[in-house]
Each structure stands twice: as structure tokens, then as C-alpha cells.
Chains A and B, each alone.
Chain A
Amino acid sequence: MEYESKTTWWLQALRSGLIGGVVAVLVSLVGMVGTFHERDIIAGQITMGQTVLLLIVIAFTYYSSRGDESTTPSTRLTSGALTGLVTASFIVGLILLGKAVNLREVFVNASPALYKILTFDMENLTAAYLYLLLGGTVVGLLTAMVHLIPSAWRSAVINGLGLVFLIALLQDLIRVTLTPFPAVTKALAWMFGSRGQEGLSVVGAIIVFLVVTLVNYFFTKRGNDMRKRIQSLPKATQQSLRWITWIILIAFLLIWPRVAGTYLSEVTNTVGLFILMGLGLNIVVGYAGLLDLGYVAFFALGAYTMAVLTTTGGEITSNFQWTFWEALPVAIFIAVLAGVVLGIPVLKIRGDYLAIITLGFGEIIRILFLSDFLKPHFGGSFGIVEIAAPTVGSLTLNTPQKLYYVILAGCMLVLFVAYRLRDSRIGRAWKAIREDEDVAQAMGINLTSTKLLAFATGAAFGGLSGAIFAAKLSTVYPHSFVLLVSINVLALIIVGGMGSLPGVIVGALLLVGLPELLREFSEFRLMIYGAILIAMMLNKPEGFIPEAVHRRELHEVEEEDNVTQTATA
């Protein structure tokens, strides 16, 4: 790649432009631009449909003008402009083609409305084409310029733009959240589009961008100084600083449902359940390297155990009527048992074969719950209803805001366990198996017990998640436990960073939280999802937050140095 960018930078730029153009045309033809056009990003100025096209141009020019240290500014600018121009010319080409041939027979979305959006509603088409081509080139140039400014400013500008986009995207949510605080709503009225308009106002967008960029810049600039100053503080002060950070974080997590309201709490709860599952699967896949595609089975078993033990009505024959807290340990235990039972036959199976077998296992569990044979016990496709909600004293935790605390407690607990296990003897054995199973065994690691422990621990977390899931919905159906759940959990681990605990949280927020918030675009959800995964694997295969290297030696050495310093002083 490096010599390529030196010798034939223009080919690189051309290629990026071609790919960008194809993507832009595709996005237009599948109807994304049309659907997204109904929402404003900046009220009355830019719609989300146009933003999507803009983002495509920006992404591909950013990539093509990236180059390396030796790339001259003029090369960067030229390749940026070239990429932008080529991408824009594809859009022009699409409009020309659409005017000449009736594309609608194949692409339903290639309607006059689409061309109207693409030509910015202009009467004079030639002017519109010129406008598009010029626009593409200018956007390309501007994007390439981002590479020319110092890196501290660059990330600040990118974060600024990103946040403007995000706030504009989620503005109705932010507004709804702010309704209980009329004073704040009034104070921030200038930020958003007025009189029912969506998106940010022009002034709002500019101010948000400036504030975010400047704050970001000064924080990254001051960040190093701050870190140094904190490190030079005495140990006790550092420790208490760390405690204060923790307390603030926990306080924020505790008041979150009050701030967030019902809908956001509901979304948070779903994210939380996926974090639980992600942490469990992370032990199996991320730590021990055992590719499990049937993880949903443990989630299902936890949910159905909870359902059978606590249900108070419906068609099924059981009559336990336990409380949530009585049923919870049993649900986890059943999941662990299933983890071990699945683990034993697959001990000797590796890689792809393991993936296929676990995939089968996941489907078997779902089909068993769906079957007529077990209908008297599990209700077949009607599932089980009237599952008890958790209670604390006389308080029934049946709203999203209240259930949040159960899920938060679960996440904290599981996070703590996963964190403690990571650097323990067992955690090291898991990672050794991931790296080289034969050598790990020759180092004295008992593969049977170590692998079973991984399956069992992972299953326990999945079972916990499933049990809470059943109580949260108060009903369970077999179709909640499809293969896609397993794949979602695996994808969030990969995007977050295999084996990384913060990665699981980030992955869940991105792949579960964001799509929940953008439900109106749900028809394109899988497409965007796929695009993110491909981009991720190409550019950052280690994930957003790669697994951290645990430094044991230097840490100790520093401490020793400190001791000797204080001793000499």
C-alpha cells in the first residue's frame, strides 16, 4: 500500500472515487437517500439523505488523501479533489441515466423524487450537474485539508463534526428527555430547528461544532500535562482521585434512568442485556478462542427456566410460581449445566467445526422450545406468559426505569468477575489455549477442565442475561432466540475488540444501542450493520478498544523505584 501511494497516488484517488461513486449510487437506489431525506440534520438546510451522500464523499476522500508522511500537501489536495469529483460524477451519471432510461422497473426507489433530491430541486439541470461536480470537488478539497492541519486539531474537528451529526440525529430524543426541565428547554431553544422543524438550527450547529472542537482541542492538548501532573501527585492522592472518578461514574449510572426517561431506559436495558451476553461470550471466544455460534442457547435456557419457574398463568402445566430471586440461581445453574453438557462432546473439536456444531446446538434448543412435543411444558410457539417481575420488598420492578437497576447490578457483577478472571491462572490458561492449544496442553494445562470452565462461565453470564430478559418482557417466545442473536453478540465483541472488556460495552452501545435509537431507519439496519463490519475488518480488525496488554513488570519496577526514591529522600 505504501509504495502504491507514492508512485500512483492518482490511481489510488481514482479507485477510491470509483468505489465511493458506486456506494453513493447504491445508497440512492436502495432508497436510503429518499427515506433519510425526510429528516433534517440542519433545519431547512441539509437533510439526512444529503448528509449520507456527503458522508460517503468525505469518507472516501479522507481515505484516498491519507497518504503517508512523505505525501506532499499538493498531492493530498489533488487526490482529495479527484476522489470527490469522481464520486460526484457517479451521482450525475445516475441522474442522466435515470432521465434517459426508466430505472424504476428494477429499482423501485429510482423515482422522480430521488432525482429531485439529488439535483437539489433545481430547475436548470445543467446548473445542477455543475453544482454537484463542483460540490464534490470542494468537499474533497476540504476533506483533504483536514490532513494538513496539526493532528490535535484534526481529531478535534472530526469529533466536532461527528457530534454535530449525532446530536442532530438524536435531537428529538434529546428534546423529549429535556421536557421535564422547561427551563433547560427554553434555554436551549436556539439550538434546534423552530416551529416543528427537526434537526439543529444553523446557529445551533455552528455553536455546537465550535464548542466541541475547541473543548476537544484543549483537552487533548492539556491531557498530557494533566496526566503528568496527576502522576506526580502522591500515591494516596492518586488513589483518592481514582475513587472520586469511580464515585462520579457510579452516581451517573445510578441517576441515569431518571434523566433518560422510559424510552431511553428501555434502550439502555436492552444494551445492558447484550453487554451481559457479550461479556459471557467474550470469555468463550475472546479469552479461550472457542468460536461459539450457538451462544443464544444459554440465553434461551436462562429465559425459559425463569419463565417456567415463575409463571402464574397461561397454558402450560407447571405450577411453581417462584419469585424472580428464587428462580434466578436455578436459571443460571441450568445454563451452566447446558454449557458443560455441550462442552463435553466438543472438547476435541477445533475452529470451524466447533462453530458449526455450536450453531447446531443453538438451533436445537430453539426448536425444542418450539416443538409440539414439549408444548405442555414450554407452550410451543405461544411461549410462556405472565412471568413474574423482580420484587424488592414490597416494590415490584416492572418499569424499564426500575428494571434498569437489576440489569446494572448484573452488569457490574459480571464485569467484576470477568475482570478478576482475566489475569488469573485460569484466565492465562484460556488465553494460552487460544494462542496454541497443543503447546498449552504440553505446558501442563488440562484442556478438558479448562475448556469446560470457559463454556460454563460463559453460559452462566448468558443464562443470567436470559433470566432478566424473561422477567423484563414478562413473556418468552421461541422466536426471540434466533441465530441472529448469537451473531449480534459475536459481532459486538469483534467490533469492540476481542478479549477486551471495555470493548464489549462500546460494541454493545454501537451495534445494539444506536440501531434501537434509529428505529425509523430499521429497514436499512442490516445494510449499515454489514457496512460497518466490513469497514471495521478492513481498517481496524483488532476492534475499537483492543485487548489491553497487562503490564506486570514495569508497574512493579516503577513502584520499586518510588520506594527507593522515597528511601533516599
Chain B
Amino acid sequence: MSNILTAENVTKRFGGLTAVGRLSIEIPEKSIYSVIGPNGAGKTTFFNCITGFYHPEEGDIIFDGRSILGLLSDQISQRGISRTYQNIRLFSNLTALENILVGQHALLKSTLLGPIFGMAGTKREEAEALKEAKRLLAFVSLARKGDLLAKNLPYGDQRRLEIARALASKPKLLLLDEPTAGMNPNETEDMTKFIRRLRDELGITILLIEHDMRVVMGISEKITVLDYGEKIAEGTPKDIQGNERVIEAYLGRGSAAQITA
């Protein structure tokens, strides 16, 4: 299995603070890969470097065989990377369906003249886009809620809508930033199953930031642990669970000894 995303020595600094330092990660195609770490470890900064929100000072990010360093976030999205956000960032005054339609933006072609003159090609394209959007809406179990404004949806629905919007651009790699944050155990369980479905049914590689260890250990094939912007461990869930440095990073120095004792 080849790697869909390779990060080589990625470094991002804010003034004197190194948010991500010399981070190297290889994400195999069609895997579920998690990045974990305490608060402020640089996980979201790393996501922002991949999606073009930030531009790393050093290192390289190779996606699908080509470097995506220096590209704008819309170009990166068109290459096939899509994401969700830690604090949900939907287009709140657009309907659920419109949010998904915006997600399809780069796949559609019409510009000014098509819609103004009501050209046949544009009409067909719009009809197909709407059909696809409804299909995605049903896929995330939001059918019949498509005309509600995104801001009026309940929290769990908003999380799923955000994923549907990300899926609308037909990504090869999907970055999920704490998808189960603020969910109760039942909802978390559903979300975990849903993430697995994304990979199994749609063949999308998933890169996940998550704090809920049950989710992480349950679905990840490989995990990278960050602390203060640096990689302190990498491996399968089993490797990570027993790793001393990881336990120390989460619980403080000496904790590992106490737990194993």
C-alpha cells in the first residue's frame, strides 16, 4: 500500500514558539490514521499546514505524489483534501443543502452567462448537483432537513453536515478535527461507525484528531502522538497504549511508573 500523504520535517513557528517541529508522518492510502496529543500539542496547526491555512517554514508535504507546499487552500482542496473543523464552521445562513452544494463548487463549471441565460448545460449540471447533494444528505441521515438553515440544526446534525459538505468535493483524504467533541457516548458510537463507513464504503483515507481514547484506539490503524509540536510516539493502538512517553505527556512525569507498578 502506497502513502497518500507524506509530511517531511514540517516545521511551523509563530514568533518564537514552535507549534509544529520537524514532524514527519506517512499516511498509507485508505487507512484511518489518528493524531493525538495533549491540548496545544500542535495537532490543529498541523492540519492547517496540510490544508493551506498556514504555510510551514520548513519541510515538505507530499500528497498523491506531488508537493502541495505553497498552494492556496482552494488549490489543495481541488487536489483532493477536504476537512472539518474543531469548532464547527458551517455557512450558518445557508441551508443544509446549500452548504453541500458549495462543497461541490470546484466540481461544477457554470459561471455568469450559463445561469443568466438559463443554458441547458447549466440546468443539467445544477440538477445533477442537487441530486448528489440530496444523496449526501441522506448518507449522513439528514434527509428532509435540507431546507433548514445550518445554524438552526442541532449540534450532532451540524457535525454530520460538516462532514457531508467535506465529502461533496469528492476528496481522497479527509481530515476530521475532533469529530466527536461534545457528543454523548451513544452519539460518539454512531460517529465512530460512520467514520469507518466512510473509509470502507467510499475508500477515503481518514486523518483524525481526537481526544476520546476509545474512539482513537477503536478505529485507528496507526497513531502519531504529538507533544509540544514534536512527535513523541508512533505506531499501532497497542504500541501507543503501553508507551511510557505518551502516558507521561498526558499525565505528567512519573505517572508511567505508577501505572505500570
Q: Which A residues form the contact surface with B (CB < 8 A)?
A: 416-417, 420-421, 423-429, 431-432, 434-436, 438-447, 453, 457, 547, 549-554, 556-557
Contact = CB atoms under 8 A, between A and B. Distances in A.
B91 interface: yes
A553 to B, nearest CB: 3
Contact of B91 (A416, A431, A551, A553): A431
A444 B95 CA distance: 19
Contacts of B129: 425
B116 A417 contact: yes
Given A420-B118, A424-B114, 17 more contacts: A424-B110, A425-B108, A425-B129, A428-B101, A438-B73, A438-B89, A440-B91, A441-B73, A442-B73, A443-B82, A444-B74, A444-B77, A444-B106, A453-B112, A552-B97, A553-B95, A553-B134
Contacts, number: 124
Contacts of A444: 74, 77-78, 103, 105-106, 169
Nearest to A422: B115
Interface stretch (B143-151, B229-237, B238-246): B143-151
Nearest to B171: A444
Q: Which of A416, A444, A550 has the most CB of B within 10 A?
A: A444
B149 A549 contact: yes
A443 B134 contact: no
Contact of A447 (B74, B118, B137): B74
A446 B109 CA distance: 13
Contact of B144 (A425, A550, A553): A553
A441 B74 contact: yes
B93 interface: yes
Contacts of B76: 442
Contact of B74 (A428, A446, A547): A446
Interface residues of B, number: 46
B112 A421 contact: yes
B110 A426 contact: yes
Contact of B95 (A424, A425, A439, A550): A550
A557 B145 CA distance: 12
Nearest to B146: A553
A425 B115 contact: yes
A321 B130 CA distance: 50
B181 interface: no
A417 B93 CA distance: 22
B260 to A, nearest CB: 43
B85 interface: yes
B92 interface: yes
11 contacts: A424-B126, A426-B112, A428-B101, A432-B94, A442-B53, A442-B83, A443-B77, A551-B147, A552-B97, A554-B146, A556-B134
Given A439-B89, A442-B52, A444-B169, A553 B97 contact: yes
A428 B118 contact: no
Contacts of B72: 441
B115 A421 contact: yes
A443 B147 contact: no
A425 B110 contact: yes
A548 to B, nearest CB: 11
A426 B111 CA distance: 6
A445 B105 contact: yes
A429 B97 contact: no
A443 B115 contact: no
B224 interface: no
B114 A442 contact: no
B212 to A, nearest CB: 24
Contacts of B116: 416-417, 420-421
Contacts of B92: 435
Contacts of B144: 553-554, 557
10 nearest A-B pairs in the assembled complex, by CB-CB distance: A444-B106, A553-B146, A424-B115, A435-B91, A444-B77, A442-B73, A551-B147, A432-B102, A441-B73, A553-B147
A443 B146 contact: no
A439 B98 contact: no
Most chain B C-beta atoms within 10 Å of own C-beta, residue among A421, A436, A442, A457:
A442
Interface in B102-158: 102-103, 105-106, 108, 110-112, 114-116, 118, 122, 125-126, 129-130, 134, 137, 144, 146-147, 149
